[in-house]
Amino acid sequence: MKKTERCEAIVARDEKVFAPTTHLSYYPLAIEKAQGAILTDADGNEYIDFLAAASSLNIGSCHPVVTKALQDQLTRGTQFGNVYTYNETSVSYAEKLTSVFPGGVKAKIAFGNCGSDANDCAVKFARGYTGRPNIIVFQNGYHGNTYGSSSMTTCSSKMHEKMGPFLPGIHTFPFFGYDLDDKYVEENCVKQLEEAFATYLPASEVAAVAIELIQGDAGILPAHPIFIKKLYDLCKKHGILFYAEEVQQAFYRTGKFFSVEHYGIIPDGIIMGKSIGATLTLGGFMAREEIMNALPAPAHLFTFGGNVLACAAGCAQFDYFQTEEFQKHLASNIELIWKLADELKAKHPETVKVCRGIGMSMGIVLNDYNGVPANDVCYKTLYRAYEKGLLVISLAGNVLRIQPPLVIKPEELSRGFEIISESLSDFEQGKISDECFKYRKGW
């Protein structure tokens, strides 16, 4: 039995001062330090990190290039503010990010503080540029927790209960995953949208569509390519902006800078957060220049938006991500992770339904087993993994979320999968008692 006293004591103190809504925790894990893809808890236990702080640590913890950039910036100042003055570091980062807008589109950016306000920003510019009020989002999507972005979020009613009314003009339509039959998708994917346009939602009054190309919190579910193509064509036909919601999947999480690049289309706008700040807090929305010129100051600016420390870290990460060393490591990690997933599925054909996703963004979907619902199979498995030294959580109840830092070492990746396999075996052999459910809070 590992020691957990200090972690449990921290959790007990936390419960006295934090609003319960601020945690989606799975077990009493209080982290004291982090390095690369290894976390150490307050009792000294080590964990392999398969969460990467919800995909916000693509470069891993304390990467030397980020640490150096931060140390350099720390000696020159940590906050200048971008509202009343300018600084070269945030300009450099904006130049770098706009330079990778797909299709070589001339883009401009607005920085904020996180992924949620980047979604708010996208809505403001969509309305400002088009003069149209409505925004289309998709079922089970996650866009954030500010009022605007939670109005766009459709994956948890707990994000809506007791807090309405929300932002008007947000309309939700079905999402079509990669696993659906091609013919079915071809015939149905934009049918409801077209019906809505013909009956109650004039296309001429729709400003934008915002979509996660790979739905994250819905359980790492890539969109069907036919769905995206038809949706994109429909947007072009009606002058509706197409926004790629890349908060969780950008910055090489899927093997490409942006996940939308897997779909061969050029979006009008890109919504960013999480790893954009190279482990620091930052958000950003970038779009075609004419869209970003549509609103005057101070329509969307923040005291800390584009903070210089986060931009310094972002620049260092951006440059490192372009190196051959990183690109080679990423390519071999992607090859390895899918090999490990195939082996896991082969070893646990009854509990593992499918391993899905793209690149280093994977969902391991679990089945019901011997009368135990899949959600319980999933929780018990991730709890045993935690006991064995792996941080992995669930999404959508029965999906293990596999999003390690991209810089994870191959031996750590392999050991992480070994722990998942051992945990599944323990579950299959009835070796995980219901006792663990007392910690269950998560999604």
By DSSP bridging, strand 38-41 and strand 46-49 are antiparallel
Q: Does 116 interact with ligand PLP (rule: CB under 6 A)?
A: yes
Task: Identify residues 269-308 at the interface with ligand PLP (CB under 6 A).
Answer: 273-274
Query: CA–CA separation, 205 vs 193, rounded Å?
Result: 13
Q: Does 219 interact with ligand PLP (rule: CB under 6 A)?
A: no
**The only residue of 60, 112, 115, 269 in contact with ligand PLP, by rule CB under 6 A:** 115
**The only residue of 143, 229, 262, 380 in contact with ligand PLP, by rule CB under 6 A:** 143
CB of 158 to ligand PLP, least distance (A): 14
Name the one range near ligand PLP by CB under 6 A: 37-45, 139-147, 388-396, 397-405: 139-147
Q: Does 130 interact with ligand PLP (rule: CB under 6 A)?
A: no
Which residues have C-beta within 8 Å of that of residue 417, sequence separation ≥ 6?
Answer: 340, 341, 343, 344
**The only residue of 9, 30, 54, 62 in contact with ligand PLP, by rule CB under 6 A:** 54
Q: Bridge-partner residues for 41, per DSSP? A: 31
Of 314, 220, 236, 235, the residue nearest 273 (C-alpha): 314
Q: Which residue is nearest to ligand PLP (CB)?
A: 115
Structure tokens at 384: 């045993």
Nearer CB in complex with ligand PLP: 58/248: 248
CB of 22 to ligand PLP, least distance (A): 12
Structure tokens at 311: 């931009």
Angle (CA) 171-361-341 rounded to 5° is 130
Nearer CB in complex with ligand PLP: 42/282: 282
**The only residue of 41, 43, 49, 217 in contact with ligand PLP, by rule CB under 6 A:** 217
Query: CA–CA separation, 365 vs 91, rounded Å?
Result: 42
CB of 4 to ligand PLP, least distance (A): 27
Position of tokens 């949620």?
A: 116
x-marked contacts with ligand PLP along 239-268 as a string, rule CB under 6 A = ------x-xx--------------------
What is the size of the binding site for ligand PLP (CB under 6 A)?
A: 15
Query: CA–CA separation, 225 vs 227, rounded Å?
Result: 5
Q: Does 142 interact with ligand PLP (rule: CB under 6 A)?
A: yes
Cα separation values, 355 from 96, 104, 217, 338, 346, Å: 34, 33, 15, 8, 11
CB of 183 to ligand PLP, least distance (A): 29
Percent of the chain that is helix, strand, coil (3-state, to 5): 45, 20, 40
Nearer CB in complex with ligand PLP: 279/421: 279
Nearer CB in complex with ligand PLP: 115/267: 115
Nearer CB in complex with ligand PLP: 352/395: 395
By DSSP bridging, strand 134-138 and strand 361-366 are unpaired
Q: Give the count of beta carbons closer than 10 Å to the beta carbon of residue 317.
A: 27
Q: Bridge-partner residues for 410, per DSSP? A: none
Nearer CB in complex with ligand PLP: 142/197: 142
Contacts 24+ apart (CB under 8 A), 255-259: 255/330, 255/331, 255/334, 255/358, 255/359, 255/360, 256/359, 257/100, 257/321, 258/100, 258/102, 259/213, 259/214, 259/358, 259/361
Nearer CB in complex with ligand PLP: 174/389: 174
CB of 206 to ligand PLP, least distance (A): 21
Q: Does 148 interact with ligand PLP (rule: CB under 6 A)?
A: no
Nearer CB in complex with ligand PLP: 53/312: 53
Binding site for ligand PLP (CB under 6 A): 54, 114-116, 142-144, 212, 216-217, 245, 247-248, 273-274
